């Protein structure tokens, strides 16, 4: 493995520049966790009046609205202008959003800042997967793609570990600083070789593959994707649904990523500080949040070292099973609290323990593997559209769950919400068992051939 990395140092450098943008995803998605308590505190809030529960939920979920537009805009722009310019534009938009948020004084301006942010993050989310999948050699592609989620977790950890101890404005300045470094780093990366194949630019294909130390793969990459361009460049959307391999890939990824967003992964991350306050855990909410962030990072760090040996499918099965069990127990804790069972006073350590297990197991599979698979499942000319559509549908579920979470928490009770998340994880286990193929050790060509059978 070490020899593989030495041979692929140019790919590692390019991927590292992209990973900074992935940190933004974690920072932006977790933004509400430390910010909502600040906005509730009159001594820290920049707002002239407090927020309602619906307004708090909207600050978390509104990302998805403009995120949808960002996804499809990115899929078009990445095929016309390139993956690199699309990533740079996305990061620049996020930079603007942090400046808007830093100087917001009312709910309307906060909402505008988050809407702008969603547009940029939508572009970054889909193109990062595509770009990494296209520049990486087969033997390290899974490692590179799974590392995307590690860096997203790093962004989340940076936020939750600094958020409670800095002012609201400084927190947004930190986000703007990370974004600025991301923009500068992206200026250094090469364009994806697949983009040049789509444009039938053989000269730049060769130059880019030389820069990435992948010249030996030139014929395979060019022949595969050139065939796709010749037969379907005028109607990529039609091929996404009529080509058997793309259709199967779309069905598999839409289902598993929708279940991922319904599993409570992001909702719990959005409102983790508030959840610990409701749970009356024996650990301070801000400390528990940092522990959760470290747990997510630990789980994510394991994946790159085992994904090419254990395989995507096995990791996904083990992860969804553990997520199901942990959410079931978490719901049981809140049920016991609801009926005022005396045992609750002696198990106040349970909420943190259960969420540690949930996020550790989630980041070892269910939270990371779907991103890896999305970067592998589609042919070159429709990869942007396929990834955008998959992400859009799953984000729609994420938007719905996040928007109603606070209200459902109050109306139904936490136990029913977490049991719902447990059942979703159970469904993901069953779907993986019967429908998700193993792509370990297979080139993008071999994966497409497998899906065509």
* Nearest-angstrom CA–CA distance, 239 and 246: 7
| pLDDT of 110 | 94
**In the prediction, which pLDDT does 230 show?**
45
Distance CA 55, CA 60 (A): 9
Average pLDDT, the chain: 83
Give the span between the Cα atoms of 370 and 377, in whole angstroms. Answer: 10
Please state the pTM of the whole predicted model.
0.73
Q: Is the pLDDT of residue 233 over 50?
A: no
Dump pLDDT digits (tens) for 55-72. Answer: 888 888 888 888 888 888
What is the rounded distance in angstroms from the CA atom of residue 262 to the CA atom of residue 270? 13
Distances (CA, A) of 149 to 168, 221, 255, 315: 26, 26, 19, 15
Residues 6+ apart with CB under 8 A from 354: 326, 329, 330, 333
Using one digit for the tens of pLDDT, what is the confidence trace for 245-302?
A: 888 989 999 999 999 988 887 777 766 766 777 767 667 777 777 887 787 777 777 7
By three-state DSSP, how is residue 379 classified?
coil
- Give the DSSP H or E segment for 118: helix 107-135
Domains and CATH numbers, the chain: 2-452 (1.20.1250.20)
Q: Tens digits of per-residue pLDDT, 381-414?
A: 677 778 778 888 887 888 888 777 777 777 788 8
CB count within 10 Å of CB 443 equals 18
- Phi (first) and psi of residue 442, to 5 degrees: -100, 140
The answer to whether 356 and 239 are in contact (CB under 8 A) is no
- Output the six-digit token pair for 237: 């959307």
Q: Are 419 and 262 in contact (CB under 8 A)?
A: no
Nearest partner of 149 among 1, 39, 258, 300, judged by Cα: 300
Decide which of 323 and 403 is more confident.
Answer: 323
Distance from C-alpha of 308 to C-alpha of 440, rounded to nearest angstrom? 6
Interval 150-206: pLDDT, tens = 888 888 888 888 888 899 999 999 999 999 999 999 999 999 888 888 787 888 888
Quick one: DSSP state of residue 366?
I
User: Which letter, b or e, does each residue of 263-289 get, where b requires 16 or more Cβ atoms within 10 Å of its Cβ?
Assistant: bbbbbbbbbbbbbbeebebebebbebb
Contact between residue 95 and residue 146 where contact means Cβ atoms under 8 Å apart: no
Q: In which region does residue 311 sit, left (phi positive, over 0), alpha (psi from -120 to 50) or beta (all else)? A: left
Two structure tokens written together for 89: 């534009």
Find the helix packing angle between 138-162 and 107-135, rounded to 10°: 160
Q: Are 308 and 347 in contact (CB under 8 A)?
A: no
Q: pLDDT higher for 328 or 1?
A: 328
Q: How far is C-alpha 325 from the chain's CA centre?
A: 23
Q: Which of 258, 293, 418, 353 is nearest to 26 (CA)?
A: 293
| Residue 41, Ramachandran bin (φ over 0: left; ψ between -120 and 50: alpha; else beta) | beta
């Amino acid at each position: 493995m070490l020899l593989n990395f030495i041979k692929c140092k140019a790919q590692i450098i390019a991927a590292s520049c992209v990973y900074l943008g992935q940190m933004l995803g974690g920072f932006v998605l977790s933004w509400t966790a430390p910010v909502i308590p600040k906005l509730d505190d009159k001594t820290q809030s920049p707002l002239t009046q407090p927020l309602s529960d619906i307004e708090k939920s909207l600050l978390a979920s509104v990302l998805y609205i403009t995120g949808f537009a960002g996804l499809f805009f990115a899929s078009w722009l990445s095929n016309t202008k390139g993956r690199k310019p699309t990533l740079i534009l996305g990061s620049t938009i996020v930079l603007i959003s942090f400046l808007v948020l830093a100087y917001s004084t009312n709910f309307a301006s906060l909402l505008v800042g988050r809407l702008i942010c969603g547009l940029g993050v939508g572009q970054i989310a889909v193109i990062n997967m595509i770009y990494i999948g296209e520049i990486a050699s087969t033997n390290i592609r899974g490692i590179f793609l799974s590392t995307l989620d590690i860096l997203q977790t790093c962004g989340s950890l940076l936020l939750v570990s600094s958020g409670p101890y800095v002012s609201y404005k400084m927190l947004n300045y930190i986000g703007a600083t990370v974004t600025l470094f991301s923009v500068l780093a992206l200026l250094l990366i090469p364009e994806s070789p697949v983009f040049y194949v789509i444009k039938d630019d053989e000269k730049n294909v060769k130059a880019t593959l030389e820069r990435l130390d992948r010249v030996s793969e030139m014929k395979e990459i060019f022949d595969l994707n050139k065939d796709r361009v010749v037969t379907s460049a005028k109607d990529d959307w039609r091929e996404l649904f009529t080509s058997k391999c793309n259709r199967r890939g779309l069905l598999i990824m839409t289902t598993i990523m929708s279940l991922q967003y319904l599993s409570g992964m992001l909702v719990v991350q959005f409102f983790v500080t508030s959840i610990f306050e409701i749970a009356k855990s024996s650990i301070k909410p801000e400390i528990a949040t940092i522990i959760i962030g470290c747990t997510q990072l630990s789980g994510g760090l394991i994946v790159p070292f085992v994904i090419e040996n254990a395989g995507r499918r096995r990791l996904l099965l083990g992860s969804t099973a553990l997520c199901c069990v942990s959410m079931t127990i978490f719901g049981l804790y809140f049920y016991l609290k609801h009926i005022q069972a005396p045992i609750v006073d002696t198990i106040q350590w349970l909420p943190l323990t259960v969420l540690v297990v949930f996020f550790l197991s989630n980041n070892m599979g269910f939270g990371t593997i779907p991103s890896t698979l999305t970067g592998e499942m589609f042919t070159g000319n429709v990869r942007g559209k396929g990834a955008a559509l998959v992400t859009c549908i799953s984000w729609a579920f994420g938007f719905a769950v996040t928007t109603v979470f606070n209200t459902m928490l109050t109306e139904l009770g936490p136990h029913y919400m977490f049991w719902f998340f447990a059942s979703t994880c159970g469904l993901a286990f069953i779907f993986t068992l019967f429908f998700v193929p193993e792509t370990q050790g297979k080139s993008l060509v071999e994966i497409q051939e497998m899906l065509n059978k």
